[in-house]
Amino acid sequence: EVDLVESGGGQVQPGRSLKISCVASGFMFDDYTMHWVRQTPGKGLEWVSGISWNSNSIAYADSVRGRFTISRDNAKNSLYLQMDSLRLEDTAVYFCAKDFRGGYYDLLTHSAAPFDSWGQGTPVTVSS
Amino acid sequence: DIQMTQSPSSLSAAVGDRVTITCRASQSIGYFLNWYQQTPGKAPKLLIHGTSHLQSGVPSRFSGSGSETDFTLSISNLQPEDFATYYCQHSYRIPTTFGQGTRLEIK
């Protein structure tokens, strides 16, 4: 059974940094593209970033590009999101999500895929 | 970015009813449309992908249809566990975007 467990969320001041993690089990982690999706009561669900299995293809939402960095460590079955220069509007629950499609595809030129497994989410609050 | 608009934002129905939720894309997305169900405090759950393909383990009372810009999710014979919020999502390209959600409540 697929399991995704996020951690590392918390409260942080505007302009500071935070790194969240997701540990995966129950599937061949190094065969799948992975994503971060966030959710707020006001803006709903927002895709944040995605990374191919080999880290060769990475994409970001315009709202976080240049501030957030996605990475993965396949040896540790782990996905990460380094969030720098945090803003009030980054406050959300952050979910890691597994891509439905296995294998490599270029996130920027190929169609995307649904997310067939999600973690329980980790809350990030940006507040002074 | 492609905008996804769901209607209605909320609806009330009774156990045993049939309901339909609509999702409209701001441009043609072919059949790259997915539906998720979310209950409070939980992560979204994939129900339908590629407009009409039921995800493994999802009951057959759920069905999806549509193409290009207009899509529907139908739920027949509503069960108590179906009262939740439903989201559509396009997977035509990155960035993928979601509808604002439709909250299905018990009448």
In this predicted structure, the answer to whether residue B78 has a pLDDT above a threshold of 90 is yes
Which residue in A61, A112, A121 is closest to B91 by CB distance?
A: A112
**Which chain B residues are within 8 Å of A118, Cβ to Cβ?**
43-45
What is the residue-averaged pLDDT of chain A? 96
**Contact predicate B49/A100, CB 8 Å:** yes
Contact state of B43 with A108 under an 8 Å Cβ cutoff: no
The answer to whether A14 touches A83, Cβ cutoff 8 Å, is no
Residue A5 in contact with partner chain B when CB distance is under 8 A: no
| Residue A110 pLDDT | 86
Verify whether the Cβ–Cβ distance A50 to B94 is below 8 Å. yes
**Angstrom distance (rounded) from CA A31 to CA A17:** 29
A53-107 pLDDT tens trace: 999 999 999 999 999 999 999 999 999 999 999 999 999 999 999 999 998 989 9
* A111, pLDDT greater than 90: no
| N-terminal to C-terminal alpha carbon distance within chain A | 40
